[in-house]
Chain A
């Protein structure tokens, strides 16, 4: 049990299913900093990241009934909601249009040698860890995990065989495991 815990996960989920205000407040206080950290690694702009966080918690409130504890921990479930919401945001039309209006130097992404957009804000957490990976692994994790490209899209964009993409991502994950 981490020192943050007041409810255990089971109690918390049970109360959230009853749409208990206190439990939801606790959930937010306990998990929002960690989730906001992840969102920030994907969405560089703090304002936009706040919007994403808001959507994420509203979704958690509404979709708690679809959480299945046999498939993983509550945090993992919320983490994936946060990651997907953040990726949806950076892929959305308004966000893309906004990026185009920014100075070119900031609009650097995966196709360049260094995929990190804004090291001051983003180079923390998992994203920092992947710098310890081999270059050929780092770009694959960045594109798949932080930008949400499918294996097929990565194979096409980087012009490497799909099988190679798959095996390299697996190898990268095994290596990442030792770093976490």
Chain B
């Protein structure tokens, strides 16, 4: 149906006179928003209807107006208050809006707070997990390194045996004779005072060669020591922290012969 057909279908008259169904009214109002010519035609009919009604007007009894005023005055006592009425009504409306928005704000705030807390908790536990993962990773790396060293066929394993002075002391030296790398695995060595350190020596032709100072803070840790091409035996002594001199043999902790 084109708009002209719609205009002349009787819908305008039906709508204006209040005879259209709810669906027809909705459709008509929708069409009015799209077709200015429909609005114009509606307006023309309304004007004609108003003129027609004016031509057939009938003055009501004069007392009716007074009665109406008296009823309207009852809504409130003074004209001043009557004038106030729309503002109070509107403000009561805006009070509802205000109340509703405060409630909404509180609800939103509550959710934001809850989410923030939850997020923080998750962040914290995430950090804990991350730290744990890092520790596990480094441990795994160490173990992998150790495993590689142990399984290398060129590596000579020297088990250091504790001297009588330090019977529980024990460590293993992994000496790669091709790469000349020396690794030390602490197995069970007592903790030292903070000014003392262990020192590894290689004995070559009866002379001690420094292979490095170390702290035995943790067991089963693989420590990379200084390289050496030759070694008849290895020894561990206790020295002052940062020792640069020779070994203090009375403090010999453990010793092991390199089998060549």
Residues of A close to B61: CB separation below 8 A: 46, 50
A129 to B49, CA, bound (A): 12
Q: How far is the CB of B8 from chain A (nearest CB, A)?
A: 7
Stretch at the interface among B62-70, B121-129, B146-154: B62-70
The minimal Cβ–Cβ distance linking A145 to chain B, given in whole angstroms, is: 6
Q: Quick one: which of A28, A54, A129, A177 contacts B45, CB cutoff 8 A?
A: A177
| Known A-B contacts A28-B65, A176-B13; A83 and B54 likewise in contact (beta carbons under 8 Å) | no
> B13 contacts which chain A residues (CB < 8 A)?
173-174, 176-177
Interface string of A40-84 (1 = CB under 8 A from B): 100000100110011001100100010000111101100110011
Does B29 count as interface, using CB distance less than 8 angstroms? yes
Give chain A's interface residues, CB within 8 Å of chain B: 2, 4, 17-21, 24, 28, 32-38, 40, 46, 49-50, 53-54, 57-58, 61, 65, 70-73, 75-76, 79-80, 83-84, 124-126, 128-129, 144-145, 151, 169-171, 173-174, 176-177, 180
Q: Are B54 and A84 in contact (CB under 8 A)?
A: no
Which chain B residues lie closer than 8 Å to A171 at the CB level?
10
Instruction: Name the interface size band of chain B.
Output: 35 or more
User: Are A58 and B59 closer than 8 Å at their CB atoms?
Assistant: no
Q: Known contacts being A19-B82, A34-B57, is A75 close to B14, with CB within 8 Å? A: no
Contact call B67/A180, Cβ cutoff below 8 A: no
Residues on B with C-beta less than 8 A from A180 are: 45, 48-49, 52
Q: A4-B54, A54-B71, A180-B48 are in contact. Are A21 and B10 (CB under 8 A)?
A: no
Contact between chains at B86 and A54 (CB < 8 Å): no
Which of B18, B52, B58 sits near A33, CB closer than 8 Å? B58
What are 24 of the A-B contact pairs (CB < 8 Å)?
Answer: A19-B82, A19-B86, A36-B57, A36-B59, A37-B56, A46-B61, A53-B64, A57-B68, A58-B68, A61-B72, A70-B32, A71-B29, A75-B50, A75-B53, A76-B50, A79-B50, A169-B19, A171-B10, A173-B14, A173-B17, A177-B10, A180-B45, A180-B49, A180-B52
Chain B min CB distance to A134 (Å): 15
Q: Is the CB of B72 within 8 A of A58?
A: yes
Give the Cβ gap from A119 to chain B, nearest Cβ, in Å: 14
The contact of B53 among A17, A46, A70, A125, by CB within 8 Å, is A125
Judge whether B9 is part of the interface by a CB distance below 8 angstroms.
yes
Chain A residues with CB below 8 A from B83, complex form = 18-20
